[in-house]
């Protein structure tokens, strides 16, 4: 029997990710990823001053504000071949690192942990046993029986009230949930603690950026932060000390809570290292520029072959500039495959057609191939190049997972649903180390007497093209600009979720979500928890949400027997 599952949480007035899957004999046989709203938001920028583009780009998405702001200024700087001073680089890097840490912590605990943790099992847990389990995993100071007891009491109170609130529509008791009550309690307790630490990470962004969620300190050519160690209202030694003390609080949460939690839970669900491998082509751009290169390596891998990985030497490698196209064959636009500088956004809406057009997302391709982007790509590209920091944390994760699962895990197993969770934790552990490094680079550079933060831009007559890249929390982001006589003549953003939620293309090649969903098990089509696990492993963000408050709550999954 074949059934068709449609997952479409139409909870806002427009625009969301929709997943359709055909399930045959308990396994997904076909899948489609669709975005339900056209934004065409880049068109707003055409004709504007390139120096103010980042203010608008920052509003493309409410969750990923900072990353679009940064990619936008980098695109204009690339077009002008305008270097930025070291202080500006380090300040931007610190903002990026802390935005990413905040985002990864929220993704694991608040957006996806409850796909794995069964909250309704928590009342059965023994807080003392939970504490001894937690203490065997790490030296975190807040793993006491009292801490677990107090979290358990919250769940008991909710269950007793009959008002489950945020937990009202979880897939509790689903056959694919099989952690012990103690592990469920452990994960949930850290879910509560995580709020505090994602917030501290965000505070670093606010101190340097002036405000969150919309930072105010960027400028084409650098940053607008004034540095004067003796003057209030600028970046002073006091503020640098404040940033350092926040970093010193966030790092233990990442290294002693988030990272060990993911490794332990992954080890208890080892079957999820065999599910959800996707396109098997990976793309990451180098990021976090330092004095001599980049602290996060970039490159491409095809067909999962790490031995043939290609390294990118610059933020926008000549190959990357040349190889990217967006194909509209199966998306609701006119035209075929175009390079982003030539990109056009001309809508051509049909209905959802399984064998025709079915989404507002174009299909980005790299030399014609679909590419997965995100922490998994980031980690595999670094691992393939022998990047020491990537190797250090990947090897540590593999050792921890192997110990819990009592079977040998290997790096190729990362190409899976659970591997994406592990990769995000590995990347976070790396970023926590790099937070200290870049804070020290900034402090030392200032102490050495360099206070420059900005190089003024000059716009030539005629036309120049640029691309700004950023390895964002969800993967490779690129903004492509054409500047003519000092005004924006074209603007295209190729965002991480466009790569991952890509539809089929003119060759019929499926996108990464669609590939990852194939052969996914589905025990109960009415409660497709397994599909959510794989989709959530990518950390989807359609960047097209229109956040109107809606008074209707709706069912998430509709199932129909074919």
Partner 1 sequence: MRRLLIAGIGNVLLGDDGVGPFVIKVLESQYDFAESVELADLGTPGFDLLVHLSGADAVILVDSAKFGGRAGDIRLFRKEEILRIPAVARLDPHSPALRESLSQLELMGTMPGELLLVGIQGSHFEPGSPLSTPVRECVPVIIDAVRRELHRLDTWCEPKASAGIPAVWWDQNFKQREERICACYTSD
Interacting residue ranges for partner 1, rule: CB under 8 A:
7, 9, 11-14, 16-17, 19, 39-41, 43-44, 55-56, 59-63, 65, 106-107, 110-112, 154, 158, 165-166, 168-169, 192, 195, 198-199, 202, 212-214, 532, 535-536, 539-542, 545-554, 556
Distance of CA 97 to CAs 116, 309, 416, 536, Å? 27, 25, 25, 22
Measured from the CB atom, the residue of 90 and 491 that comes closer to partner 1 is 491
Measured from the CB atom, the residue of 59 and 244 that comes closer to partner 1 is 59
Q: How far is the CB of 525 from partner 1 (least distance, A)?
A: 15
How would you classify the pairing of strands 363-366 and 324-327?
A: antiparallel
Q: How far is the CB of 402 from partner 1 (least distance, A)?
A: 30
Distance of CA 241 to CAs 244, 394, 439, 448, Å? 5, 31, 10, 17
Q: Which two tokens stand for residue 123?
A: 């009342």
Yes or no: say if 531 and 30 are a contact pair by the CB < 8 Å rule.
Answer: no
Q: Which two tokens stand for residue 318?
A: 């000549």
CB proximity list for 463: less than 8 A, separation 6 or greater: 482, 483, 484, 485, 489
Q: How far is the CB of 90 from partner 1 (least distance, A)?
A: 24
Yes or no: say if 332 and 357 are a contact pair by the CB < 8 Å rule.
Answer: yes
Measured from the CB atom, the residue of 191 and 269 that comes closer to partner 1 is 191
Q: Which two tokens stand for residue 562?
A: 């074919």
The rounded distance, in Å, linking the Cα atoms of 312 and 539 is 25
Measured from the CB atom, the residue of 129 and 199 that comes closer to partner 1 is 199
The rounded distance, in Å, linking the Cα atoms of 257 and 252 is 7
Q: How far is the CB of 41 from partner 1 (least distance, A)?
A: 5
Q: How far is the CB of 486 from partner 1 (least distance, A)?
A: 17
Q: How far is the CB of 165 from partner 1 (least distance, A)?
A: 4
Measured from the CB atom, the residue of 109 and 320 that comes closer to partner 1 is 109
Q: How far is the CB of 5 from partner 1 (least distance, A)?
A: 13
CB atoms within 10 A of CB 27: 15
Yes or no: say if 14 and 546 are a contact pair by the CB < 8 Å rule.
Answer: yes
DSSP code string of 351-399: ---TTS--BSS-EEEETTB--B-SHHHHHHHHHHTT-HHHHHHHHHHHH
Measured from the CB atom, the residue of 224 and 436 that comes closer to partner 1 is 224
CB proximity list for 49: less than 8 A, separation 6 or greater: 486, 487, 488
Measured from the CB atom, the residue of 363 and 541 that comes closer to partner 1 is 541
Measured from the CB atom, the residue of 165 and 386 that comes closer to partner 1 is 165
Signed CA dihedral, 402, 433, 277, 16: sign only: positive
DSSP code string of 406-467: TS---GGGGSSHHHHHHHHHHHHHHHHHHHHHHHHHHHHHHHTT----B----PPSSEEEEE
The rounded distance, in Å, linking the Cα atoms of 439 and 442 is 5
Measured from the CB atom, the residue of 199 and 369 that comes closer to partner 1 is 199
Q: How far is the CB of 15 from partner 1 (least distance, A)?
A: 9
Q: How far is the CB of 551 from partner 1 (least distance, A)?
A: 5
Q: How far is the CB of 218 from partner 1 (least distance, A)?
A: 14
Q: How far is the CB of 436 from partner 1 (least distance, A)?
A: 23
Residue 270 DSSP code: G
Measured from the CB atom, the residue of 28 and 380 that comes closer to partner 1 is 28
Measured from the CB atom, the residue of 293 and 347 that comes closer to partner 1 is 347
> How many angstroms from the chain centroid is the CA of residue 142?
27
């Amino acid at each position: 029997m074949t059934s068709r599952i449609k997952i479409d949480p139409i909870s806002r007035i427009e625009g969301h990710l929709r997943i359709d899957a055909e399930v045959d004999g308990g396994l997904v046989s076909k899948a489609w990823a669709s975005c339900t709203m056209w934004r065409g938001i880049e068109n707003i920028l055409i004709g504007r001053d390139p120096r103010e583009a980042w203010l608008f780009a920052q509003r493309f998405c409410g969750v990923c504000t900072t990353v679009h702001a940064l990619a936008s200024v980098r695109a204009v700087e690339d077009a002008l071949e305008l270097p930025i001073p070291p202080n500006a680089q380090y300040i931007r890097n610190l903002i990026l690192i802390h935005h990413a840490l905040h985002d990864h912590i929220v993704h694991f605990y608040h957006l996806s942990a409850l796909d794995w943790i069964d909250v309704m099992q928590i009342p059965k847990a023994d807080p003392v046993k939970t504490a001894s389990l937690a203490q065997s995993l790490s030296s975190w100071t807040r793993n006491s029986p009292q801490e677990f007891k107090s979290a358990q009491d919250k769940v008991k109170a909710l269950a007793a009230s009959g008002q489950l609130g945020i937990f009202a529509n979880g897939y509790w008791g689903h056959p694919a949930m099989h952690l012990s009550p103690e592990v469920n309690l452990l994960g949930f307790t850290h879910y509560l603690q995580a709020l505090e630490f994602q917030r501290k990470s965000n505070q670093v962004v606010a101190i340097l950026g002036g405000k969150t969620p919309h930072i105010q300190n960027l400028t084409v050519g650098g940053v607008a932060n004034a540095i004067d160690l003796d003057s209030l209202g600028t970046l002073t030694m006091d503020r640098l000390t404040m940033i350092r003390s926040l970093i010193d609080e966030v790092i233990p949460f990442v290294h002693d809570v988030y990272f060990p939690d993911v490794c332990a839970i992954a080890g208890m669900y080892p079957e999820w290292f065999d599910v959800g491998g996707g396109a098997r082509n990976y793309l990451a751009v180098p990021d976090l520029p330092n004095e001599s290169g980049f602290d996060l390596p970039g490159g491409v891998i095809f067909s999962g072959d790490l031995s043939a990985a290609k390294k990118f030497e610059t933020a926008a490698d000549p190959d990357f500039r040349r190889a990217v196209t967006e194909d509209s064959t199966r998306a609701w636009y006119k035209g075929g495959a175009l390079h982003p500088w030539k990109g056009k956004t001309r809508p051509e809406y049909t209905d959802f057609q399984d064998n025709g057009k079915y989404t507002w997302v174009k299909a980005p391709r790299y030399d014609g191939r679909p590419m997965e982007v995100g922490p998994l790509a980031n980690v595999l590209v670094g691992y393939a190049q022998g990047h020491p920091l990537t190797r250090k944390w990947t090897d540590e994760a593999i050792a921890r997972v192997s110990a819990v699962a009592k079977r040998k895990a290997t790096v190729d197993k990362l190409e899976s649903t659970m591997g994406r969770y592990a990769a995000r934790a590995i990347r976070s552990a790396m970023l926590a180390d790099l937070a200290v490094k870049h804070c020290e680079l900034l402090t030392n550079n200032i102490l050495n007497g360099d206070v420059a933060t900005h190089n003024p831009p000059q716009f030539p007559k005629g036309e120049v093209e640029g691309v700004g890249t950023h390895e964002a929390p969800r993967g490779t982001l690129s903004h492509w600009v054409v500047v003519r006589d000092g005004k924006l003549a074209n603007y295209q953003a190729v965002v991480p979720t466009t790569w991952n939620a890509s539809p089929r293309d003119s060759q019929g090649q499926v996108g990464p979500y669609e590939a990852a969903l194939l052969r996914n098990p589905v025990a109960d089509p009415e409660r497709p928890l397994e599909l959510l696990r794989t989709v959530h492993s990518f950390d989807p963000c359609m960047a097209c949400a229109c956040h109107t408050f809606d008074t209707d709550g709706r069912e998430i999954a509709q199932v129909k027997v074919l």
